[in-house]
Amino acid sequence: MSYRSTSRRDVMRALAIVPTMIAAPVAVSAATAFSSSTADRSAWATAMARYLKVKGEADHFHTTVYEVAERRLEPVSPPYRFPHTARNGSTVEYVLHPHQFSDYEIEPVDMWAFIRPQIEEAKLKYAAYTRECALIGYAEISNRSDTYGDMLADAEADLLNLPAPDLAGIRWKLEHLREVAEGCVIAQEDFDLILADISRIAGEAVA
């Protein structure tokens, strides 16, 4: 799996928020509020520094290594698509995956003679793809991409689960959820910690 696809596995992992305590605004002493805020800020700053470090490394790897490999492989990467226009004038797009090559073999009559040139071209492209993958070490690149995806998901989850120390922290959480919302459904429970942040900060503000 690629870093770019950080496919939604990483998104869902980042959203694995376990609600702790959802509290309504309460009046607390100024000393208690200060102590809580200081601890929250320290923990948040540490987690944010880790997140930014991981994200910077992941983005750099993605830009300088993974995307370069993807561009190199793109001309021969599966699946292989090609159109075919039948005698009646209708056009169909065929999509060939390498594991399907055996389905298009000649036995004993070539039922796919009308697209045989495209099938053979797809086989040649896949052979070239396999050679290129071995040449550039694509398996290792993909594994490193997965590792960065896991590290980034862990760092994001840590921030989402920590109490936000201020409105900037709450904004980061909301912007993060908005960013990943395109590819998944965010349940009501995913916002519980953010609501708790708002309740806590509102309580401290009026203390």
Q: Measure CA 70 to chain center.
A: 16
Residue 34's pLDDT is what? 44
Single-letter residue type at 120: E
Distance CA 187, CA 103 (A): 43
Distance CA 180, CA 64 (A): 24
Residue 73: DSSP 8-state? H
Give pLDDT < 70 ranges for the chain. Answer: 1-37, 187, 204-207
If we measure between CA atoms, which residue out of 100, 148, 36, 56 comes closest to residue 140?
A: 148
Its sign, for the CA torsion 77, 80, 81, 84, is positive
| Cis preceding linkage at 19, omega within 30 | no
Q: What's the length of the chain?
A: 207
Residue 205's pLDDT is what? 60
Q: Kindly state the greatest CA–CA separation across the chain.
A: 87
Residue 67's pLDDT is what? 97
Residue 14's pLDDT is what? 40
> Which position has the token pair 């992941």?
58
Beta bridge partners of 93: 83
3-state helix, strand, coil in the chain (%, to 5): 70, 5, 25
Lookup: tokens for 10: 């990483």
Residue 149's pLDDT is what? 94
Distance CA 181, CA 11 (A): 9
62 close to 145: Cβ distance less than 8 angstroms? yes
